[in-house]
Amino acid sequence: MGELATEKHTKYILQIEKKKDDNIESVLTEHLRINGAYWGLTTLDILGNLKAVEQEAVVSWVLSCQHESGGFGGNVGHDPHLLYTLSAIQILTLFNKTHILNIPKLTSYISALQNEDGSFSGDQYGEIDTRFSYLAICSLALLKSLDKINVEKAVKYIISCKNLDGGFGCTPGAESHAGQIFCCVGALAITGSLHYVDKDLLGWWLCERQVKSGGLNGRPEKLPDVCYSWWVLSSLIMIDRVGWIDKEKLVKFILECQDFENGGISDRPDDAVDVFHTYFGVAGLSLLEYPGLKPIDPAYALPVDVVNRIFLE
């Protein structure tokens, strides 16, 4: 097992932007470039290398993804959606630049997406999912504007998606999934509502996501994947049950998924790397207290110092 190849990963992230035109992966992920930017930039910050980025260029590009409505698209010219709006806010928060936003406009875009039952639509086209509850709640909290929505109803809706295993699904009745659990537990953590979570039951389900190789899967009887190092770990930390997994084995699994030659981290050992898994691997290592990494906050998915700067002032 090698160590974390910090320099290689930094280089990998920095070069993604440059070769975007002729590369099939970047063409196929063009619609979520703003998520990619958030994953890459947050990874750089955790690695201690955010300074390597031209901040002004990034900020002005992010702003060019904003629509008249206040919401952000995944790229220039793409329709706005909560999925991209949170990433935009997170990027500006990383750079301590949210003051350049028209906050009333942005928060009214988000709060208008809350439905009568407390749930959130992702955009005007009406898809409902607890992922969108998290996106809205996290966005508004980062802008210190949680009072713009009905938090109590939002919480009640999330609770209505709780399952027999203590986990949460996208809508009432939908199966638990680690990514979805992160969204629900994260939203409940931010709104001081974790008492609704059955921590022992959910904690047991989550800790049983660790498979023999040390990696974590997202649902029972599925393959492990580095991305669950984030979804499962952050949830376990928020409910204070992270001691229930073998942390050393997980560190080993993540490190084995690195591309030592060209940088980047993949879903499983020897698969193709991407910025999404690079982020989840590095963020996971940060949650596992891997030496030399900035600690990351499990609920807001931003470095702890960035979150503290917002709330402890």
Partner 1 sequence: MHGRPRKSATPVDENASALKAAKIRSLQTQFLQNHHNNIYTKEALELNAKLLETNPEYMTAWNYRKLAFEHNLISQSDAEKADSDHIKSIIDEELRVVENALRTNFKSYGAWHHRKWVVSKGNSSTERELKLLNMFQKQDTRNFHAWNYRRFIAGLKNISDEKELQYTTDMINDNFSNYSAWHNRSVLLSNLLEKKAEGYFPKETFLTEEYEFVRNAVFTDPDDQSGWFYHLWLLDQTVKVDMPVMVSSWPPCDSDINLPVASEVKFPVVLYFNEPVEGISSHTVIVQIEDDVFKDITWSPLSTNKFGCGQAWVTHLSIPHEKFNFSKIYEVKIKSEDSRGITSLSGVPCSRPWSFAFRVSVKDVQPDEGQSFGRIMLTDESFCTIDTNLNKTNLLKSYFELKTSDDDQITSSKWKLEMIDNEIAHYRELLTWADCKIGKLTLARLLMAYDSMTSSATPIAHVEEVLQLYSELMKLDTPHQQYYKDEYSLVLLKQVTSSMESLLKHCWQYKSTPSSITGSICLRLNSLSLSRIGSIERLLWVQSLDLSHNQLHSIEGLEALQLLSCLNLSHNKLASFTALDPLRFLKSLKVLNVSHNEIGSHTIDTRRYQCSSPMSHTIDYDPKFEEFANGDAKLVNFWEAYTVFGGLNLMQLDIVGNVAVDERFVSFLVKLLHGLKWLDGEELH
Among 62, 82, 136, 141, binds partner 1 (CB under 8 A): 141
Q: Residue 207 Cβ, how far from partner 1 at the closest point, in Å? A: 6
Among 146, 187, 251, 306, binds partner 1 (CB under 8 A): 146
Q: What is the DSSP letter of 198?
A: -
Query: Which amino acid type is present at position 282?
Result: V
d(CA 114, CA 132): 9
Strands 265-266 vs 273-274: parallel, antiparallel or unpaired: antiparallel
Q: Residue 251 Cβ, how far from partner 1 at the closest point, in Å? A: 13
Q: Which is nearer to partner 1, 50 or 299 (CB)?
A: 299
CA dihedral 52, 58, 60, 63 (to 10 degrees): -150
Q: Which is nearer to partner 1, 95 or 214 (CB)?
A: 214
- In sequence order, the 6+-apart residues with CB closer than 8 A to the CB of 149 are 110, 111, 114, 136, 137, 140
Q: Does 194 bind partner 1 (CB under 8 A)?
A: yes
Q: Which is nearer to partner 1, 53 or 287 (CB)?
A: 287
Tell me if residue 179 falls in helix, strand or coil: helix
Task: Map the footprint of partner 1 across residues 64-103, applying CB under 8 A.
Answer: 73-74, 77-79, 81, 83
Largest CA distance in the chain: 52
Q: Residue 291 Cβ, how far from partner 1 at the closest point, in Å? A: 9
Q: Does 208 bind partner 1 (CB under 8 A)?
A: yes
d(CA 249, CA 44): 24
Q: Residue 56 Cβ, how far from partner 1 at the closest point, in Å? A: 26
Task: Map the footprint of partner 1 across residues 283-312, applying CB under 8 A.
Answer: 286-289, 295, 297-300, 307-308, 311-312
Six token digits for residue 64? 């060019």
Q: Residue 55 Cβ, how far from partner 1 at the closest point, in Å? A: 22
Q: Which is nearer to partner 1, 42 or 266 (CB)?
A: 266
In DSSP notation, 54-122 reads -HHHHHHHHHTTB-TTS-BBSSTTSPB-HHHHHHHHHHHHHTT-GGGS-HHHHHHHHHTTB-TTS-BBS
Q: Does 219 bind partner 1 (CB under 8 A)?
A: yes
Tell me if residue 168 falls in helix, strand or coil: strand
Query: Which amino acid type is present at position 287?
Result: L
Q: Does 28 bind partner 1 (CB under 8 A)?
A: yes
Total site size for partner 1, rule CB under 8 A: 95
Q: What is the DSSP letter of 294?
A: P
Q: Does 259 bind partner 1 (CB under 8 A)?
A: yes
Among 123, 157, 216, 229, binds partner 1 (CB under 8 A): 123
Among 25, 61, 97, 150, binds partner 1 (CB under 8 A): 25
Choices 6-14, 55-63, 99-107, 242-250 (CB under 8 A): range interacting with partner 1: 242-250
d(CA 310, CA 143): 9
